[in-house]
Amino acid sequence: MKNKLFNRLSVGMSLMPLLIGLSFNLQADDNKPFAIAIHGGAGTINEADLSEVQQQAYRDKLQQAIEAGHKILAQGGDSLDAVQAAINVLEDSPLFNAGVGAVYTFDGKHELDASVMDGRNMAAGAVAGVSHIKNPINLARAVMEKSPHVMLYGQGAEEFAISQGMEFVPNQHFDTTHRYNQLIDAKKKIIKSELQDNDYQASVNKLDDNYKFGTVGAVALDKQGNLAAGTSTGGMTAKRFGRIGDAPVIGAGNYAENGTCAISATGHGEFFIRYNVAADICARVKYQQKSIIQAADEVINQRLVEAGGTGGVIAIDAKGNIATPFNTSGMYRATKVGDEPANIMIWRDK
């Protein structure tokens, strides 16, 4: 009898360190930093052009998207899942230039680009010029996880999507009246200036940012310390068919590396590609030990400004510090650190 009791006691005692260890780990996990930032595009966003109701609609959708990502992180989930969940909400909203609400090419179609990167193993996946995939970010993730490749475009990407059971939609699924009106407007301006300088690209470049931007993206740090980034877009209004922007180009519009940072960009893609914006910011953090705030600011507000490239990024580092610099008048964005309330902004100060 005594022996049995002793055995039970000693078994119980030998389990104690384990149990203490377990509760300590759970607690430690609860104290691990986690954070998420999202954007819905940068551009010339004039306050006077957005009614109170429209502003509220943007803010509500940003809130819904960031909460979708936050919920996953708060439960100890993966940064990659959080990024995808947040982007899906924005892709399904006609307010943003990704998924429904994507801009039109010059000839009146939609061609979508997207990419994801997993900072834990530098895995990446991207699709470009897809026109029937409801949520291109999901396909980008499938390219990363289920194919040996990093980037697939056009028909090849869509054939791969069939094999992955992705949701297909007709190209008209992405139609919205406001984007169509933007195309008509843009075409008038392009055709007028084309008569002058006979250069399509120069004419497109002359369009103001309102015609160009609205891409969506998300970056996140999870409780395991993993960083992830995702970007999804319809590209730029009146782009030539076949044009591919920075959103699916790893290192330009999207980048993530554990221990360093994760970036999602929005802006004039041709500049973001040539200036390797997302990777440049992370390189400054990694090799020059700059803070994420300083590194992102240098690239967006110095290097890009000098080059004439407009846009912005959301950036997060390994500790969950967030930077959201942009060199346009506004950028739809939201940040949420741990369980703090989300900070939702359109302009510099509100």
**Which are the catalytic amino acids?**
215
Q: How many C-beta atoms lie closer than 10 Å to residue 169's C-beta? A: 14
Q: Which one of the spans 28-36, 153-161, 192-200, 230-238 is the region binding ligand ASP (CB under 6 A)?
A: 230-238
Give φ, ψ of 73 to 5 degrees.
-65, -40
Q: What angle do CA 127, 128, 134 make, to 5 degrees?
A: 70
State the Cα–Cα distance between residues 90 and 99, nearest whole angstrom: 8
User: How far out from the chain centre does Cα 187 lie?
Assistant: 28
Q: Which of 213, 255, 275, 332 binds ligand ASP (CB under 6 A)?
A: 213
Residue 41 lies near ligand ASP (rule: CB under 6 A): yes
Closest CB to ligand ASP among residues 226, 328? 328
Smallest gap, in angstroms, from Cβ of residue 96 to ligand ASP?
9
End-to-end CA distance of the chain: 72
Cβ atoms of residues 215 and 82 within 8 Å: no
Smallest gap, in angstroms, from Cβ of residue 173 to ligand ASP?
19
Query: Residues 265-304 vs ligand ASP: string with x where CB under 6 A?
Result: -xx-x-----------------------------------
Residue 214 lies near ligand ASP (rule: CB under 6 A): yes
Cβ atoms of residues 220 and 262 within 8 Å: yes
Tokens representing 223 are 């409780």
Q: Which one of the spans 53-61, 232-240, 255-263, 283-291 is the region binding ligand ASP (CB under 6 A)?
A: 232-240
Closest CB to ligand ASP among residues 67, 175? 175
**Residue 105 CB partners (closer than 8 Å, separation 6+):** 111, 235, 238, 239, 240, 241, 243
Closest CB to ligand ASP among residues 74, 89? 89
For the chain, how many helices (H) and strands (E)?
12, 12
Q: Which one of the spans 45-53, 118-126, 213-221, 318-326 is the region binding ligand ASP (CB under 6 A)?
A: 213-221
Q: Which of 40, 235, 325, 330 binds ligand ASP (CB under 6 A)?
A: 235
Sign of CA dihedral 204, 209, 211, 215: positive
Rounded to 10°, the helix 136-146/79-91 angle is 150
Nearest-Å Rg of the Cα atoms of the chain is: 22
* Residues touching ligand ASP, count (CB under 6 A): 16
Closest CB to ligand ASP among residues 205, 321? 205
Q: How many C-beta atoms lie closer than 10 Å to residue 22's C-beta? A: 11
Closest CB to ligand ASP among residues 34, 58? 58
Smallest gap, in angstroms, from Cβ of residue 214 to ligand ASP?
5
Closest CB to ligand ASP among residues 101, 214? 214
Residue 111 lies near ligand ASP (rule: CB under 6 A): no
Residues that bind ligand ASP (CB under 6 A): 41, 97, 212-215, 233, 235-236, 245-247, 253, 266-267, 269
